[in-house]
Amino acid sequence: MSSCAQALRVRGADDGGMANSPLRPHTTNAFYAQAAISFGVSLTAVGFGIAYLPVSSWVRAFLAVGLLYTVTSAFTLAKCVRDRQEETDVVSRVDQARLDKLLAEQDLLRVDVP
């Protein structure tokens, strides 16, 4: 079972499935280290591959610039995806706060006595 599914199961048992704050996924240090090492190894391997390719220096330079462009594009895409996710989280929290306020104003068990 994934860590997110386990957290949902545990959270649902504690508060009956209703929570005031959204579940925030937590990135472990091991996962962060694995991602960083994997990125470094792949970038180094491609760099060595380009450096030792038996072609002229112009072709190597072209491939190196292409690699640099690919890496910067990947970082930009990751940032855009992260920003979109954070924006969605903020909007959902605002909507949840509005719904909570509306439900708090509507007391269905209140009896108006004239």
pLDDT at residue 53, rounded to an integer:
93
Spatial neighbors of 41 by CB under 8 A, at least 6 apart, are: none
State the Cα angle at 73 between 42 and 40, rounded to 5°.
20
pLDDT at residue 97, rounded to an integer:
83
Each domain of the chain, given as residue ranges in start order, spans 46-106
Residue ranges in the chain whose pLDDT is less than 50: 1-18
pTM metric for this prediction? 0.55
pLDDT at residue 24, rounded to an integer:
63
pLDDT at residue 86, rounded to an integer:
82
The DSSP output letter for 37 is H
pLDDT at residue 26, rounded to an integer:
73
Q: Is the distance from CB of 22 to CB of 38 less than 8 angstroms?
A: no
Comparing CA positions, the residue from 39, 40, 38, 6 lying closest to residue 23 is 6
pLDDT at residue 91, rounded to an integer:
76
**Tokens 């104003």 -> residue:** 105
